[in-house]
Amino acid sequence: MTEPLLQVRELKKHFPLESPIPFVKSRLSVKAVDGVSFDVYRGETLGVVGESGCGKSTMARLVNQLITPSSGTVQFKGENLIGMDGKKLRETRKSIQMVFQDPYASLDPRKTIGELIAEPMVIHRIGDKTSQKKRVEELLEVVGLSQYHAKRYPHEFSGGQRQRINIARALVLNPDIIICDEPVSALDVSVQAQVINLLKELQREFDLTYIFISHDLNVVRYMCDRIAVMYLGKIVEMGTYKEIYEDPKHPYTKALLSAIPKENPHDRKERIILKDSVPNPINPPSGCHFHERCPVAMDRCKREAPQLIDTGNGHIASCHLLNEQ
């Protein structure tokens, strides 16, 4: 096995709550990400799925240090990003770029597309005006827009086109990894398919690695090589997309998969309907965080938190039932 490009170990982020008593630190905190470990290899796409509030987006922001983790390590090409000094971190971050969900909110409305795409080069002082302009034109072509679009403003573009601009902006510094945080959730199906095709093409062309966050399980299956399922700040199952979709081990993954709407009107799908929604992360349930909603919970699940167990083929899951078998 080759060396992983990105190695994340025991990553945690606890957001402290405001204390009811002034000047006294609160002991309560929201455990948004609570001990997450995974590897990402060059050229692959790692999908991260889970319900709202499970910590997917916080995890993405921790990986490139947009927020500082409470503990844990993030090793990129063998170097730990956490605690790295500012100058070096900025340099390393060139290789880790992001594409956000909302194509309307992530572009400054007062800048032209040309300025927006050139901005990373300006910040990192790469090239002069002419070479920057050339690079912008090159990238517009790459993402399927035209050179004359450089002079226009964001409001003149549709959602799909804006997402293309965001992708061009992420590509400008030749990154190794692009973290895509729900990049197609806000788009119509036909446009969604265009953007997904573009992301796949770019991956082949530029040898990119993606961390792909989404709550649409069909999109994740199509895009990703490996999938991590998160629940309340923890990874509960991880494996290749085939393993996850064909042989899910964790009851939560099974429920998630069964909640995908029907493929066609003839489909008679057995559905596991979960009760309630994700519990409060300030005071998560004891033992296995999922036990209150789990259709197969046992007594043991209330007391003991399960560990991640390797079930072969690089497939891991955390459920007490796996020990029983």
Binding site for other proteins (CB under 8 A): 51-52, 158-160, 188-194, 196-197, 200-201, 215-219, 221-222, 241, 255-256, 258-267, 271, 273-274, 276-277
Smallest separation, CB 163 to other proteins (Å)? 13
Smallest separation, CB 276 to other proteins (Å)? 8
Smallest separation, CB 46 to other proteins (Å)? 15
Per-position DSSP letters for 138-160, written without gaps between them: HHHHHTT--GGGGGS-GGGS-HH
Alpha helices in 112-214 (DSSP H): 113-123, 129-142, 159-171, 189-206
Smallest separation, CB 55 to other proteins (Å)? 14
CA distances from 14 to 142, 227, 282 (A): 40, 24, 10
Smallest separation, CB 238 to other proteins (Å)? 18
Helix (H, G, I), strand (E, B) or coil at 311: coil
Smallest separation, CB 277 to other proteins (Å)? 5
Reference 159, options 182, 126, 136, 177; nearest CA is: 182
Output 89 or 191, the one with its CB closest to other proteins: 191
Smallest separation, CB 190 to other proteins (Å)? 4
Output 128 or 263, the one with its CB closest to other proteins: 263
Could you say which DSSP state residue 4 is in? P
Task: Check if the beta carbon of residue 153 is closer than 8 Å to that of residue 109.
Answer: yes
Per-position DSSP letters for 84-112, written without gaps between them: --HHHHHHHHTTEEEE-S-TTTSS-TTS-
Output 115 or 216, the one with its CB closest to other proteins: 216
What's the rounded Cα separation, in Å, for the pair 110 and 88? 30
CA distances from 102 to 107, 110, 111, 162, 184 (A): 9, 17, 17, 9, 9
Output 43 or 159, the one with its CB closest to other proteins: 159
- Please name the amino acid found at residue 167: I
Output 127 or 285, the one with its CB closest to other proteins: 285
